[in-house]
């Protein structure tokens, strides 16, 4: 792996990490170190040869770090101090505590298990206790869906599509379950759509194994954006009252500018008419679609449909 | 000489010394500084700044009328956590399983003495620029000041909570003299510590109970009981969201009436409108009226 030349800061952090790790295990193959720390083998050799020249005055051999690099392996005999855990910066402490809390919030996690104990010890050392809390929701079918992912079991699901405001039945091969932005999603191959789709687990109304299993493909990383515009996605320009600008926090906004009358003008990728209707109704008076023309009636129609329920 | 070598030596020397070292002593002990007083002074200043930017605390004490430098081991190392191997690997897996702010989490695991494990990412938490500063203030019990939705707030941060897909900071609001929560993504700019202001956090504080679980419960006052009729089409999803105990009536057509305690009418309206024409507010009359008043200008367009 070779990327751009790392900065001095990044190299120093990495070297200290490698030395700390080596000091606990005495030796390792160069290939192993390269893999674990995201370096090329040449970088490993160069950095450790450099470390072999570091130490304390008077820099006689007995005061230098004992690092021996041959063509495949590194042998190291380093002081116990290097193996000690180091203080975390504020950002690091937060990242570790939040990560551990998130995993503990996953339904089914053991509240008294190894992770909970580790976190207790870490938080005590950081001088805080249970001050970072992560709540992940727990939709009723989450456990069922996770079991299907683990067992590669095909499911027949009844799914509510919010963007189209309809419920459809589909057969899916469940590939992965993950939580993003506080919601649980199922990544699955959908036989109805003929491709990979994300499903919100809290919108799955029922899930039953079909009895079939499927061959699991290689694991894939969580997509950075859960909202994946399909072929029927259109871009709309809408005006929103300034008081509702924050509504767009949870929508895929492409651009946002201030209109002459104090409203904000946003461009959004429209997932479906029901989705757009919801955005407009929540934004309230002054919310309107400017273009495309076939969507300008969505807001008034949706408002009228809801009002009809009140008459 | 490679600067990383000089920095590593500087770090080892400052960490090893029991007495603070003056600039002269550092230059003579650590190899690689350029000759000439201005040149080595500048080079040392740059190294010192770089180490400090890495979060390494360099203590300055006066030695014979001159500044002396050292790194105190208690500032550099964590107190022994006493993690068992099982606990250590559970922590590694947790960090690998959550994507929050890639680099700092990975390097935190390095500092704790482990190496990130390849694991499937299970959860994705938003990372916001204001979070580390709020976390630091919470840990060090310092009052912070920040701009939230255009208003300046002064807060004793007691805890951080991730809920409804957003981060909230919960604490004692100085201006309102009451417990409040603020959405962190609505904070503009960096939260800053208030000079000299510290606080004693309540011992039994739990951020998750300090904030209600439903958005329409957040606010002032007792709240009113609202009844909402939800179509068969949505009744099961809503029952899953609110809990079966919120169902006060099941109708033969599959629709259901739910009862909710509403403190924040705006959040309640947003929730009801999210159900489009599949839901209707039955009571109380003023909440029902508020939905109608809200929608009429939209329908008139």
Rounded Cα gap, residues A210 and A157, in angstroms: 10
Residues B64 and B120 occupy one common structural domain: no
Residues B205 and B249 occupy one common structural domain: no
Write out chain B residues lying below 8 Å of A180, CB-based: 123-124
The total number of structural domains that make up chain B: 4
Predicted local distance difference test score (pLDDT) of residue A309: 92
CATH number for the domain including B50?
Answer: 1.10.10.10
Token couple for B78:
């964590």
Predicted local distance difference test score (pLDDT) of residue A253: 67
CA proximity to B139, closest of A119, A125, A116, A85: A125
Domain boundary among B189, B211, B233: B211
Residues B237 and B201 occupy one common structural domain: no
In chain B, which residue's Cα lies nearest the Cα of A89? B55
pLDDT in tens, B217-241: 766 667 789 999 999 888 888 888 8
Q: How many CB atoms lie within 10 A of CB A77?
A: 12
Residues B231 and B260 occupy one common structural domain: yes
Write out chain B residues lying below 8 Å of A34, CB-based: none
Domain boundary among B164, B193, B211: B211
pLDDT in tens, B76-96: 888 777 888 788 878 877 877
Residue tagged 């008043």 (tokens): B293
Domains in chain A (CATH in brackets) are 8-83 (1.10.10.10), 90-126 (no CATH), 142-213 (2.30.30), 234-308 (3.30.70)
Q: How far is CA B7 from CA A15, B10, B31, B166, in A?
A: 11, 5, 10, 40
Rounded Cα gap, residues B255 and B238, in angstroms: 11
Least confident of A125-129, A172-176, B50-54: A125-129
Q: Do B90 and A114 touch (CB under 8 A)?
A: yes
Write out chain A residues lying below 8 Å of B94, CB-based: 96, 99-100, 102-104, 115
Residue A58 backbone dihedrals phi, psi, to 5 degrees: -85, 25
Beta strand B224-230 with B187-198 is unpaired
Mean pLDDT throughout B252-280?
91
Q: What is the interface pTM, i.e. ipTM, of the complex?
A: 0.72
Residue B100 backbone dihedrals phi, psi, to 5 degrees: -130, -55
Write out chain A residues lying below 8 Å of B284, CB-based: none
B108 closest CB neighbour out of A47, A96, A282: A96
B104 closest CB neighbour out of A16, A91, A102: A91
DSSP-derived 3-state class of residue A238: strand
Residues B205 and B251 occupy one common structural domain: no
Rounded Cα gap, residues A287 and A290, in angstroms: 10
Average pLDDT, chain A: 82
A–B CB contacts, 8 A cutoff, strictly below: 327
Q: How far is CA B180 from CA B158, B159, B164, B202, B271, in A?
A: 10, 11, 17, 14, 22
Q: Which residues pair with A239 in a beta bridge?
A: A265, A288
Residues B116 and B145 occupy one common structural domain: no
B81 closest CB neighbour out of A106, A125, A134: A125
Contact B7, B44 (CB under 8 A): no
Reported residue count of chain B is 301
Q: Which residues pair with B25 in a beta bridge?
A: none
Task: Evaluate if residue A28 carries a pLDDT over 70.
Answer: yes
Flag whether the pTM goes above 0.80. no
Residues B189 and B157 occupy one common structural domain: yes
B275 is in which domain, residue-wise? Answer: 217-299
Domain boundary among B211, B231, B261: B211
Residues B223 and B277 occupy one common structural domain: yes
Contact B160, B211 (CB under 8 A): no
Write out chain B residues lying below 8 Å of A281, CB-based: 273, 276, 295, 298
Residues B103 and B149 occupy one common structural domain: no
Residues B227 and B282 occupy one common structural domain: yes
Predicted local distance difference test score (pLDDT) of residue A181: 77
């Amino acid at each position: 792996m070779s990327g751009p030349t790392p900065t001095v800061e990044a190299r120093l952090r990495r070297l200290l990490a490698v030395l700390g790790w080596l000091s606990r295990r005495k030796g390792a193959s160069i290939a192993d170190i390269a893999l674990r720390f995201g370096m090329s083998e040449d970088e490993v050799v160069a950095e450790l040869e450099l470390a072999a020249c570091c130490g304390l005055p008077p820099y006689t051999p007995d005061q230098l770090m004992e690092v021996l690099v041959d063509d495949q392996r590194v042998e190291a005999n380093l002081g116990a101090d290097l193996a000690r855990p180091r203080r975390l910066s504020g950002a690091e402490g937060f990242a570790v505590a939040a990560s551990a809390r998130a995993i503990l919030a996953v339904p089914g996690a053991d509240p008294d298990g190894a992770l909970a104990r580790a976190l207790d010890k870490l938080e005590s050392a950081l001088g805080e206790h249970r001050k970072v809390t992560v709540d992940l929701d727990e939709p009723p079918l989450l456990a069922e869906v996770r079991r299907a992912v683990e067992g590669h079991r095909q499911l027949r699901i009844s799914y509510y599509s919010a963007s189209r405001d309809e419920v459809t039945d589909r057969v899916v091969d469940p590939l992965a379950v993950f939580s993003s932005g506080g919601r649980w999603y199922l990544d699955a191959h959908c036989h109805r759509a003929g491709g990979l789709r994300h499903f919100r687990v809290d919108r799955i109304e029922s899930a039953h194994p079909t009895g079939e299993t499927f061959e699991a493909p290689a694991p894939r990383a969580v997509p950075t954006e859960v909202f994946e515009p399909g072929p029927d996605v259109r871009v709309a320009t809408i005006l929103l009252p300034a008081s509702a600008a924050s509504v767009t926090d949870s929508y895929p906004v492409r651009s946002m500018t201030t209109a002459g009358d104090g409203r904000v003008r946003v461009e959004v990728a429209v997932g479906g008419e029901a989705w757009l209707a919801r955005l407009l109704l929540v934004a309230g008076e002054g919310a309107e679609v400017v273009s495309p023309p076939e969507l300008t009636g969505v807001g008034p129609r949706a408002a009228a449909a809801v009002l009809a329920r009140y008459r | 000489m490679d600067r990383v070598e000089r920095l590593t030596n500087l770090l080892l020397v400052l960490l090893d010394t029991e007495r603070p070292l003056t600039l002269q002593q550092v230059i003579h002990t650590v190899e690689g500084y350029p000759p000439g007083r201005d040149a080595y002074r500048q080079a040392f200043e740059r190294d010192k700044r770089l180490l400090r930017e890495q979060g390494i605390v360099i203590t300055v004490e006066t030695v014979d009328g001159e500044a002396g430098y050292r790194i105190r081991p208690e500032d550099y190392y964590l107190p022994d956590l006493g993690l068992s191997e099982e606990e250590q690997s559970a922590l590694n897996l947790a960090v690998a399983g959550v994507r929050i702010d890639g680099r700092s989490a990975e390097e935190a695991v390095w500092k704790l003495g482990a190496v990130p494990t390849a694991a499937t990412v299970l959860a994705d938490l938003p990372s916001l620029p204001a979070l580390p500063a709020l976390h630091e203030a919470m840990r060090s019990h310092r009052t912070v000041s920040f701009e939230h939705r255009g208003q300046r707030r002064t807060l004793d941060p007691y805890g951080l909570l991730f809920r409804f897909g957003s981060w909230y900071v919960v604490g004692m609001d100085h201006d309102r003299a009451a417990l409040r929560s603020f959405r962190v993504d609505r904070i503009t700019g960096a939260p800053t510590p208030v000079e000299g202001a510290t606080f004693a956090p309540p011992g039994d504080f739990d951020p998750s109970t300090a904030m209600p679980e439903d958005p329409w419960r957040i606010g002032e006052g007792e709240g009113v009981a609202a009844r909402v009729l939800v179509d068969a089409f949505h009744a099961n999803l809503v029952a899953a969201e609110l809990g079966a105990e919120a169902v006060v009536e099941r109708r033969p057509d599959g629709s259901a009436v739910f009862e909710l305690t509403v403190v924040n009418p705006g959040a309640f309206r947003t929730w009801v409108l999210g159900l489009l024409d599949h839901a209707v507010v039955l009571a109380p009359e003023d909440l029902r009226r508020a939905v109608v008043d809200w929608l009429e200008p939209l329908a008139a367009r």
